Amino acid sequence: MQAAQVPADEGGYGRSHGLLADIPTLRLAALAGIGLLAGGGLFLGDASTWTAAQSSFMRTPAALLWFLTLDGQWALWLVVAWPLVDQARDLSKAIDLRDRRRLGGALLLILALAGLLLVPASFATPRGVLGWWPLAPIPDYPLRHHDLKIAIHTIAGSSIALLAVADILLLRLATGLDRDPAPPAATYDAVHDYLERKDALVRLLWVGGAIVFAATLSVGALRPALVAGDAAAAARFPATYPTVYGLYLSGLLALVYVPTYMTFERVGRALQDLLVPPRNGPLDATDLVAYAAVRRDVEAALGLGTGPIASFKAGAFIFAPLASTIVAQLLPGS
């Protein structure tokens, strides 16, 4: 028994749009370098005006490690921003801009997530910006203009995270999955487009997971920096805070990723049924074994059967808070 033949499609169920193409090594290094300079300029640019207490705090090994986690985030953001912008531009060409209902829904979701990303702002700075976060603000620390610097840092990171979210939504809109979750025919173009876009979705998850990991790690690295200068800060900054923070960010990522991933699974099942249609009528054991084998082969070729939690790639963001917290606990003074 063989699967249905899939002739080349003339219309196509979507086309390739340069989804998150690989970055040349030289460009990668240049973007990372620019990010490191930007982060260093933000947090260390006014070092000449620091007081003795501020200089003493920032020169401790724990504070330097904390700064490196912050600076590393800027390198990460600059590296991923380039392909995310390219992908957003390419995917936007496949979207019907006249469909205001779908575009409006995506925009509202992005705005809602933007607001939710600001909720931990009252936790990320000593005095806090908002009063929504249920945890007590972290202890004060001697970093000049720390509220302003952390606010700029948070806004920059949230912008990159929202760009990744926008790409996931654009991927869904450009593919038309929210409008018609089944391809019109099992063609080469339909299968190629499905696999390409599903792979792009997983790569976007890796980007989101990396952002969550880096953000959680920086919060975890801040605790030993504070405890090193003030042992009483340990009681006001429990070791569970970074985990809660990371789980919160992971939950926001899951709100966007999981529904889109499950929709791709439904499309894949529809393609599987088109390639190997369900059979009616009498069926002997030999035909059953052959039919089931072909179904399994097609399922494996389409990458089906691994949900967003069971799949290692899809589950990467779930372990980011735990992993980054463990790493943070290994830092001196934690």
User: Is 319 part of any domain?
Assistant: yes
User: Is 311 part of any domain?
Assistant: yes
Distance separating alpha carbons of residues 191 and 184, to the nearest angstrom: 11
pLDDT digits (tens, 9 = 90+) for 108-133: 777 777 777 766 654 555 444 444 45
Q: Considering its fold, how many domains does the chain have in total?
A: 1
Q: Which of 113, 86, 281 lies closest to 200 in space, CA to CA?
A: 86
User: Is 5 part of any domain?
Assistant: no
pLDDT digits (tens, 9 = 90+) for 231-261: 677 777 777 788 888 888 888 888 888 888 8
User: Is 15 part of any domain?
Assistant: no
pLDDT at 69 over 90: yes
pLDDT at 8 over 80: no
Please give the pLDDT value at position 70: 94
- Would you call 11 helix, strand, or coil by DSSP? coil
Residue type, 194: Y
pTM recorded for the entire structure: 0.79
DSSP state of 148: H
Distance separating alpha carbons of residues 240 and 216, to the nearest angstrom: 11
Check: CB of residue 54 under 8 Å from CB of residue 132: no
Q: What per-residue string of b and e applies to 110-140 under the rule 16 or more CB within 10 Å gives b?
A: beebeebbbebbbbbbeebbeeebeeebbbe
Distance separating alpha carbons of residues 238 and 9, to the nearest angstrom: 58
pLDDT at 59 over 80: yes
What residue numbers bound the domain in which 195 lies?
25-329
pLDDT digits (tens, 9 = 90+) for 298-316: 888 888 876 655 553 445 5
Average pLDDT (96-107) is 68
Please give the pLDDT value at position 118: 67
User: Is 8 part of any domain?
Assistant: no
| Segment holding 131, helix H or strand E | none
DSSP state of 32: H
Read off the pLDDT band of 328 (50, 70, 90). Answer: low
Please give the pLDDT value at position 239: 77
User: Is 82 part of any domain?
Assistant: yes
CB atoms within 10 A of CB 53: 10
Answer positive or negative: Cα dihedral of 110, 113, 115, 121.
negative
